[in-house]
Amino acid sequence: MLLANQPQGGPLNVETLATMLGNVSRNHLHKVVQTLAGLGLVRTIRGNGGGVVLAAPPGSIKVGKLIRDLEGEQPVVECFRDGGTCVLSADCRLRCYLKDARNAFFRDLDQHTIADCLPRKPARRAKETA
């Protein structure tokens, strides 16, 4: 979000990002950047004036896909792990309901992009004419 909200769209180095994010650990931030770069969400630019930039326009990055990519297939409940089954009842239907709810959650998030999440810029006022 921070990279998407930069007005000039130029690269930000990790030191600047760390400061803007409340002085987070640079080592941790390097790992996050590596993960995001590995997913193809950001590009890293080496050298003087380099840093991190979004790999695509904010309007083309779907929120649902972003979360899926970052979180993977995190199980909602224990019976989702490793294709497991309910330890309480073989015919438990809760798993099906939760799977449908998770799918609806991501379908809804897929309707939005990173650009949709950015603060709205104030509308420019037309100059008043006398």
How does pLDDT run across 62-90, given as a tens digit for each residue?
A: 999 999 998 877 776 767 666 666 667 76
Q: Report the Cα 50 to chain-centroid distance in Å.
A: 22
Report whether pLDDT(130) > 50.
no
Q: Which helix (H) or strand (E) holds 42?
A: strand 42-45
Domain chopping of the chain, boundaries: 1-55, 57-119
Q: Are 78 and 88 in contact (CB under 8 A)?
A: no
How does pLDDT run across 13-48, given as a tens digit for each residue?
A: 888 899 999 999 999 999 999 999 999 999 999 988
Q: Report the Cα 3 to chain-centroid distance in Å.
A: 11
* pTM > 0.75: yes or no: no
Q: DSSP for 43-82, please give it.
A: EEE-STT-EEEESS-GGG-BHHHHHHHHH-S--SSGGGGG
Report whether pLDDT(128) > 70.
no
Q: How confident is the model at residue 61 (pLDDT cuts 50, 70, 90)?
A: very high
The third-level CATH classification (topology) of the domain covering 1-55 is Arc Repressor Mutant, subunit A (1.10.10)
| Length of the chain in terms of residues written | 130
Computed on alpha carbons and rounded to an integer, the radius of gyration of the chain in Å comes to: 20
| pLDDT for res 114 | 92
- Report the DSSP beta bridge partners of residue 62: 113
How does pLDDT run across 92-126, given as a tens digit for each residue?
A: 778 788 889 988 999 999 999 999 998 876 656 55
What is the sign of the dihedral through the CA atoms of 10, 16, 18 and 23? negative
Q: Which amino acid is at 97?
A: Y
